[in-house]
Chains A and B, each alone.
Chain A
């Protein structure tokens, strides 16, 4: 058998599956993730798709990757991997840079023939030498073993080759002592409607697992520590699904039907897919003719009394700007989800970035404030989608929820919450008593400045909304200069007062350090891990992570002022740092920025924070 030598007990390991975009690496990675989550590991994944739908087979541009970290204290998919699976030379070439020193590479040696090497632009027939690989390489004949396992199965050659990924998965399951029955269950669910395909994959995964048992070789291996997770029922969830489910929870909690008007766009389309499936919960999700129609149909649904949502990514948000402005003016609840990707323009559609912050805050004509929130992790997408909807309904305003490609596609194990873990959402409906007392469409709650929601179909509450400025008292069209200024200031104040209705900012790590590391949105995992590593290295810092961007939590500026050294780390050129700087003129804000379409690496955060800490204040 493969001897499990050099046994290392680690609190977490990182595995990277890589292959051709048609090789099924995402599926293999997903099943490994789910199986690991099922044995009590924390998991964090990073699917790294190529930009092309199907680049030429075996080419460098067609390589698809899926990285997952499993174990304890897992906040990120890991900077680099302990085990790299490369199904062909192109995958090896593109991914070897992600291997840790001392890591192991597993290759399908059957696909390292001359023609394969050529496609990946190798110039010699010694690929490992050519790449200067010093790591241990385990050469496994994945293709021929898969073919052998399916000999006589009746599947055609193409279908047989499609099972290679599952052979590799079987091997990895063996390497990490993952229970095969759990993997089989996931395969069964995946191929529930194709029993022949399931049977084939079941055979192949066992073949891969047994291969590890039967072949004599030596490979470094790992025992992964499990956590003691909070008791409850768990499922595996990615950020986009969590976003969709958070909206459904909000719909249950406010008693208004959920409506989504959307248009396909990478990497946000999964939200439309999930909500389109949820007709079983009464959700209406419509694929409209364009992004503008997406937001406009949602505005119409909001006027009609639904919890209305539109989902998109950066370029789509640009197209929706005018519509969002209408919802600002009409003071209707609207949730706008922007799963950020690399920009500007079409940019890097499959890659992650935090570059839409300014667009979300300011990308509209006129004085047009909206609430902006951001999700920190894949599972936090659930909470923040709920929060976006809660704020929209309770404050009668558009809310932009910023997630990103990294957390939208990434997945984690998630404890299914009980319904009573989330608060009721208060709908300020126009009541018969209010109508009898002379209700007006722009009548406001004094404390929150929120106007009331007159649901169409209500007798006596007929009213007219629109994009033209309204009289503060009657709601009729008004061009009065003083009234306009009053309305602008009122809409602004209404947004500011949301601060009374959101949680305060928390500080993690060494709260009494003189250094505060700040992040927002999808970088939480990397910054939290960096905070831990800095503490372990004797350089403890405080860490504050923002999920409520506009308005900021009520205590935010006071918290920041407590620190002598303030560092904002973000995946853009400094948008949140600039935003904070405008509110903290006396504070010098240091910056860590990365704009490569990739998440942070923990190591680069640690290094840059350390550099700042060695500079005198």
Chain B
């Protein structure tokens, strides 16, 4: 499958990138270019569709077919695109405001239908392009220009929405984790059906450091865990901490302490159909349990565009017509001489 004739540069457009210096979007763009080169899908067979927001400018920086659309609607537009032209590989770029606020309905329904598109959700927990209002992923009490006394509402956790909509693929990365981002984006594209990849991204202007409690170099190893299918759920600076089952819940332990051995540590199974454990893993927030990055869930399920194409073929094979006239003449008609 992999075609070495494409490099990251093959997917770069000639437009100069206009994001703020230091914005996490730059890193995500670069890893996407690299992931595409790894995948080897030709640029002319790739479409990148976005909504509105800082991250949604991304299609302009791609040498692919691209469409920078309207606020919140990228998932609906990508749905139409993929069904109309299933040969194309389709990526959707949305931020937390675009994808989960104004576009929340399209987000969950695209996932429910399991359209074969790859949604990259840039989560900076703020509205950047409109200059700093709280977003549907901002924490309760978050102070912003539109919540001067702090918000009085709870945030969405994107993974929870994804699983609520019966999502078949969920992965997470952090803008600064270049290798992880590339790894999960490649897996996302190889997944058949809707993939949701949440990338925690830093808005250097309006929400600088929002992810620092987890992503700071000093704490990252202890506050994140990189999940890989078939591997033990280990983390920590010395890779000596692990996740174990504690009743129905998860618990972080240190190997060799409290009687826990490596054998107690869970092995990650991203392919198991039940999302029970996947949801628990995805809900870990980096406080008592480490935030999970990597591919958390990746299961096979029928995807809509393929089912639609198949249904059309089946109907046509059984009682198809070549032309409208043939179809009409097969129905109730009468002839006037």
Using a CB–CB distance below 8 Å, which chain A residues touch chain B?
Answer: 34, 37-38, 40, 185-186, 189, 229-236, 245, 248-249, 252, 257, 259, 261, 278-282, 284, 286, 288-290, 292-293, 296-306, 308, 322-323, 325-326, 330, 415-419, 456-468, 476-477
Contacts of A284 in B (CB 8 A): 83-84, 308, 312
Count class of interface residues, chain B = 35 or more
Not counting A457-B87, A462-B44, a sample of 7 additional A-B residue pairs whose C-beta atoms are within 8 angstroms of each other reads: A235-B328, A252-B323, A280-B320, A281-B320, A284-B84, A289-B109, A293-B106
- 14 sample A-B contacts, Cβ–Cβ < 8 Å, listed by A number: A233-B334, A259-B83, A280-B319, A281-B321, A290-B105, A296-B70, A296-B106, A301-B80, A305-B85, A306-B84, A459-B42, A466-B60, A476-B60, A477-B60
Q: Give complex CA distance A282, B337 in Å.
A: 32
Given A461-B44, A465-B68, are A235 and B63 also a contact pair (CB < 8 Å)?
A: no
Evaluate contact between A300 and B80: CB separation under 8 angstroms.
yes
Evaluate contact between B68 and A464: CB separation under 8 angstroms.
yes
Q: In the assembled complex, how far is the CB of residue B55 from the closest CB belonging to chain A, in whole angstroms?
A: 14
Please tell me which one of the listed residues B43, B70, B324, B335 contacts residue A322 in the complex, with CB atoms under 8 A apart.
B70
Please tell me which one of the listed residues A34, A298, A300, A461 contacts residue B49 in the complex, with CB atoms under 8 A apart.
A300
Q: With an 8 A cutoff between CB atoms, is B147 at the interface?
A: no
Residues 37-74 of chain B, each 1 if its beta carbon lies under 8 Å from chain A, else 0: 00000111101010010000001101111111110010
Contacts of B70 in A (CB 8 A): 296, 322-323, 325-326, 467
Evaluate contact between B67 and A465: CB separation under 8 angstroms.
yes
Those 4 A-B pairs whose CB atoms lie nearest each other, nearest first: A300-B80, A297-B80, A466-B68, A301-B84
Contacts of A37 in B (CB 8 A): 334
Using a CB–CB distance below 8 Å, which chain B residues touch chain A?
Answer: 13, 15, 42-45, 47, 49, 52, 59-60, 62-70, 73, 76-85, 87-88, 105-106, 109, 308, 311-312, 315-316, 319-321, 323-325, 327-329, 331-337
Q: Give complex CA distance A466, B57 in Å.
A: 10
Q: Secondary structure at chain A's binding surface: helix, strand, loop or mixed?
A: mixed
Contacts of A292 in B (CB 8 A): 73, 76, 106
Given A245-B324, A279-B312, are A299 and B69 also a contact pair (CB < 8 Å)?
A: yes
Q: Quick one: which of B42, B66, B85 has the most chain A CB within 10 A?
A: B85
Given A300-B49, A465-B68, are A457 and B88 also a contact pair (CB < 8 Å)?
A: yes
A-B contact count (CB 8 A): 201
Given A293-B106, A416-B328, are A231 and B337 also a contact pair (CB < 8 Å)?
A: yes
Evaluate contact between A457 and B44: CB separation under 8 angstroms.
yes
Evaluate contact between B76 and A464: CB separation under 8 angstroms.
no
Please tell me which one of the listed residues B85, B106, B109, B311 contacts residue A457 in the complex, with CB atoms under 8 A apart.
B85
Q: In the assembled complex, how far is the CB of residue A185 from the closest CB belonging to chain B, in whole angstroms?
A: 8
Nearest A-chain residue to B66, judged by Cβ: A464
Q: In the assembled complex, how far is the CB of residue B113 from the closest CB belonging to chain A, in whole angstroms?
A: 9
Q: Give complex CA distance A37, B320 in Å.
A: 28
Contacts of A289 in B (CB 8 A): 76, 105-106, 109
Evaluate contact between B73 and A323: CB separation under 8 angstroms.
yes
Nearest B-chain residue to A458, judged by Cβ: B44
Q: Give complex CA distance A306, B67 in Å.
A: 16
Q: Give complex CA distance A325, B63 in Å.
A: 25
Evaluate contact between A280 and B324: CB separation under 8 angstroms.
no
Contacts of A467 in B (CB 8 A): 52, 68-70
Evaluate contact between B312 and A462: CB separation under 8 angstroms.
no
Evaluate contact between A304 and B44: CB separation under 8 angstroms.
no
Evaluate contact between A234 and B85: CB separation under 8 angstroms.
no
Contacts of B62 in A (CB 8 A): 464
Contacts of A282 in B (CB 8 A): 312, 316, 320
Please tell me which one of the listed residues B79, B311, B312, B332 contacts residue A297 in the complex, with CB atoms under 8 A apart.
B79
Given A236-B332, A416-B333, A468-B68, are A259 and B44 also a contact pair (CB < 8 Å)?
A: no
Evaluate contact between B77 and A300: CB separation under 8 angstroms.
yes
Nearest A-chain residue to B106, judged by Cβ: A293
Contacts of A458 in B (CB 8 A): 44
Please tell me which one of the listed residues A259, A279, A460 contacts residue B80 in the complex, with CB atoms under 8 A apart.
A259
